[in-house]
């Protein structure tokens, strides 16, 4: 007879379905509900390794790694062949400051699965903390190659690339002191859920919220802080703020962003899992553009590509083609861009085309327009060339974007475009749009 478990009131599930439900709640940020479901599973099936694993993950995500370590250690004893359990035990140990045991756990996970990008990222953090920057860098480089949408690997690798790209005597991590007489918000997760453009939008949303209520906004080291000329007070990475929920926090944040509330979120760490609001407010456009200005120390990588393109033509036309990692793979047909360019090209004065894409195989389709790509740039920014693409998009005269937030954010930061286009619903056509609301 199969075991049935009452996970939440009135709901009886099989053991596998109960574990899946606990994991779904964990991934959705309902950590207390996830842990409660795991407890019910463990009451029915003591020391079930899958329930122990989910309960341990929920514990360290709830900023209690010390509680997670014994739970995950037991899970690993019950299922010693599980690389996932070894990886998550490594995460709990890392967050607890036990570097030696964390290293053993991550190496065990990688021994079981040699392409385990998440475990490589964790091991890189351990090596960096131990002073082995070169070892950490090599692991992060490999992790990004294996899984370029794994945000912790992407942010850690990018920050190391920024450090290695600095001119002599320059620095990017400029911070001002926090004002102790004001309430505050922080975001320890900034940069760890989503990549560059998603986190830029999340940053803008929280900064606008904090400023509207007279609060300080403390941030960790993240790619946007390295790239843009920001000086937000620093959130100490050694301090794990108390986790205070996700979905409820998103709702409260969105309500307080849309209109002024009497009791805003304050003196707490936010976990939003991506911005729940459209932060590009036309009324704050000048402020946002001033915040999101690249640091001058990166000019040597950003300006030569723009200057090269301007020498090749008077009208800079850019298209962004996304083909490899959109979540639903509903990619805009290339024919939409090609047909549009065929009609546009004869009307322009000395045009030059720049193609930014995550799939180089599409570039030959634009051959009749003699396209320029990042491979043609006079200077390459190793590991950060996506920021060169981004910068060119912000400086183009005419820009046609694709799905996702990368090019849409670049369009918003373009100070004086002549024309902005995006795919219409159903990819029926390219339509004009305004990235500011």
Give the pLDDT confidence of 94-112 residue by residue, as tens digits: 999 999 999 999 999 999 9
More confident of the two residues 330 and 283:
283
Domain span at residue 327? 296-432
Structure tokens at 365: 């389709």
Domain count, the chain: 3
Rounded distance between C-alpha atoms, residue 314 and residue 73, angstroms: 63
Give the pLDDT confidence of 37-94 residue by residue, as tens digits: 999 999 999 999 999 999 999 999 988 999 999 999 999 999 999 999 999 999 999 9
- Sign of the Cα torsion 372, 377, 382, 388 reads negative
Residue 367 lies in a domain: yes
Residue 173 lies in a domain: no
Residue 143 lies in a domain: yes
Nearest partner of 157 among 188, 196, 189, 186, judged by Cα: 196
Residue 174 lies in a domain: no
- The 3-state secondary structure of 285-333 reads HHHHHHHCCECHHHHHHHHHHHHHHHHHCCEEEEEEECCCCCCCCCCCC
Phi, psi of 12 (to 5 degrees): -105, 125
In this predicted structure, the answer to whether residue 330 has a pLDDT above a threshold of 80 is: no
CB 26 within 8 A of CB 246: no
What CATH number does residue 144 fall under? 1.25.40.10
- Residues 189-209, mean pLDDT to the nearest whole number: 90
Both 342 and 412 in one domain: the answer is yes
Residue 140 lies in a domain: yes
Structure tokens at 421: 């286009």
Residue 437 lies in a domain: no
Rounded distance between C-alpha atoms, residue 337 and residue 359, angstroms: 15
What CATH number does residue 401 fall under? 3.40.50.11350
Both 250 and 360 in one domain: the answer is no
Rounded distance between C-alpha atoms, residue 396 and residue 407, angstroms: 12
In this predicted structure, the answer to whether residue 243 has a pLDDT above a threshold of 90 is: no
Nearest partner of 128 among 144, 113, 117, 139, judged by Cα: 139
Half-sphere exposure of 114 (CA within 13 A, CB side): 0
């Amino acid at each position: 007879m199969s075991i049935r478990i009452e996970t939440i009131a009135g709901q009886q599930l099989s053991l596998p379905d109960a574990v899946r439900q606990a994991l779904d709640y964990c991934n959705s940020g309902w950590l207390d509900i996830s842990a409660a479901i795991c407890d019910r599973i463990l009451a029915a099936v003591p020391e079930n390794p899958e329930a122990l694993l989910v309960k341990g993950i929920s514990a360290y995500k709830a900023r209690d790694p010390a509680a997670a370590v014994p739970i995950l250690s037991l899970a690993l004893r019950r299922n010693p062949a599980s690389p996932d359990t070894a990886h998550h035990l490594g995460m709990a140990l890392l967050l607890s400051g036990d570097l030696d045991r964390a290293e053993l756990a991550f190496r065990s996970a990688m021994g079981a699965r040699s392409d385990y990008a998440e475990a490589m990222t964790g091991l890189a953090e351990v090596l960096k903390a131990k002073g082995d920057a070169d070892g950490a860098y090599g692991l992060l480089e490999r992790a990004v190659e294996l899984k370029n949408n794994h945000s912790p690997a992407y942010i850690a690798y990018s920050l190391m690339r920024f450090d290695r790209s600095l001119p002599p005597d320059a620095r990017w991590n400029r911070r001002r002191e926090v004002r102790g007489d004001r309430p505050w918000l922080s975001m320890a997760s900034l940069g760890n859920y989503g990549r560059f453009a998603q986190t830029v939008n999340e940053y803008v949303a929280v900064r606008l919220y904090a400023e509207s209520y007279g609060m300080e906004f403390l941030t960790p080291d993240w790619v946007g802080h390295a790239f843009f000329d920001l000086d937000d007070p620093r959130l100490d990475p050694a301090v794990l703020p108390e986790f205070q929920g996700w979905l409820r926090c998103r709702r409260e944040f969105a309500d307080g962003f849309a209109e002024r509330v009497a009791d805003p979120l304050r003196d707490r760490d936010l976990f939003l899992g991506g911005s729940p609001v459209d932060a590009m407010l036309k009324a704050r456009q000048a402020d946002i553009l001033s915040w999101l200005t690249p640091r001058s120390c990166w000019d040597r990588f950003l300006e030569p590509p723009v200057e090269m393109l301007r020498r090749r033509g008077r009208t800079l036309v850019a298209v962004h083609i996304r083909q490899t990692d959109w979540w639903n793979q509903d990619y805009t047909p290339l024919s939409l861009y090609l047909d549009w360019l065929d009609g546009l090209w004869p009307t322009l004065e000395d045009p030059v085309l720049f193609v930014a894409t995550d799939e180089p195989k599409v570039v030959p389709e634009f051959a009749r327009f003699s396209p320029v790509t990042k491979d043609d740039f006079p200077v390459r920014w190793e590991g950060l060339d996506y920021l060169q693409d981004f910068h060119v998009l912000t400086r183009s005269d005419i820009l046609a974007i694709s799905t996702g937030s990368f090019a849409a954010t670049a369009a918003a930061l373009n100070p004086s475009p002549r024309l902005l286009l995006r795919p219409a619903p159903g990819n029926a056509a390219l339509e004009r749009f305004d990235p500011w609301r």
